[in-house]
Chains A and B, each alone.
Chain A
Amino acid sequence: MMEGHRAASTRRFTFAAGHRYWVESWSREENERFFGRLTVPHGHNYMLDVTVRGPIDPQTGMVIDLGELKRVVGETVVERFDHTDLNADALFRGRVPTTENLAIAVWELLAPKLGADRLWQVRVWEDPTLFVDYRGPDA
């Protein structure tokens, strides 16, 4: 991942959110047969690790001002999802809020703000035993 002068910085965020696995176009029986207990509304203490990479600025010595990263992710992701029902979010209309889809949604929210060339990876932890890494559609 590191070519030449490139470095990476990662900052961790947390948010708590509710969700359930449910495909709108399926009947209750189909949903329950396929997803089992995941159809019951429940929640998680999510953790999010956002990794940005790029050259180290010769003046500041930083890949990114972690204060800026904290502000951008806070406004764009944490405030949007913290203590909300993910299924009610427009991002998950017709898209089941699995950990996989949540990682992709976080990427899609952050890439325009941070720049797809700077944003390298988002890691979404549903709980301490499960995480998904996403590095964009082209990686």
Chain B
Amino acid sequence: MLELTRVYHFSAGHRLASPSLSPEANAALYGPCYHPHGHNYYLEVTVTGSPDRVTGMAVDLERIDGVVRERVLDHVDHRTLEEVPALAGVVTTGEGLARAFWRLLAPAIPARALRRVTVVETAKNRFQYEGEAS
């Protein structure tokens, strides 16, 4: 089993608020996270594969970098996550972002190569998503 993980960084503003709840209920549920604030996020993208016998490369890292930049980083870096069209309807919890990023990335990464998406919200919080159960 060989897994390769690339660590990316972005900074973004957000707030936790469910569209199905009243402002009072959201404030009670999410507490301080209901206030608009932001984080220095890290996004870890893990892919799996076997090193090519000739090139020694399991994945085309430049291609992965390009996909992550175009599909995620360019949309979220220095933005308010609630205003990002690609994240419409997403409650921007760490786990919600990890699942949303997985869904943005998976179609552009070779089949079955994407293993895990990890969102590091702060040094104390990590959220992993490994795809829909099949």
A residues in contact (CB < 8 Å) with B: 21, 23, 25, 34-35, 95-101, 103-104, 128-136, 139
Contact = CB atoms under 8 A, between A and B. Distances in A.
Contact of A129 (B1, B8, B54, B57): B8
A100 B58 contact: yes
Interface in B21-51: 51
A130 B2 contact: no
B54 A100 contact: no
Interface of B: 1-8, 51, 54-58, 61
B5 A101 contact: no
Contacts, number: 58
A100 B6 contact: no
A132 B8 contact: no
Contacts of A134: 1-3
Contact of A97 (B8, B56, B58): B56
Contacts of A95: 56
Contact of B51 (A21, A100, A130, A135): A100
Given A100-B51, A129-B7, A135 B56 contact: no
A46 to B, nearest CB: 15
B57 A103 contact: no
A134 B5 CA distance: 11
Contacts of A104: 2, 51
B43 to A, nearest CB: 11
Contact of B5 (A35, A97, A98, A130): A130
14 contacts: A21-B56, A25-B54, A34-B55, A96-B54, A98-B51, A100-B2, A130-B5, A131-B4, A132-B2, A132-B4, A133-B1, A133-B2, A133-B5, A135-B1
A129 B2 contact: no
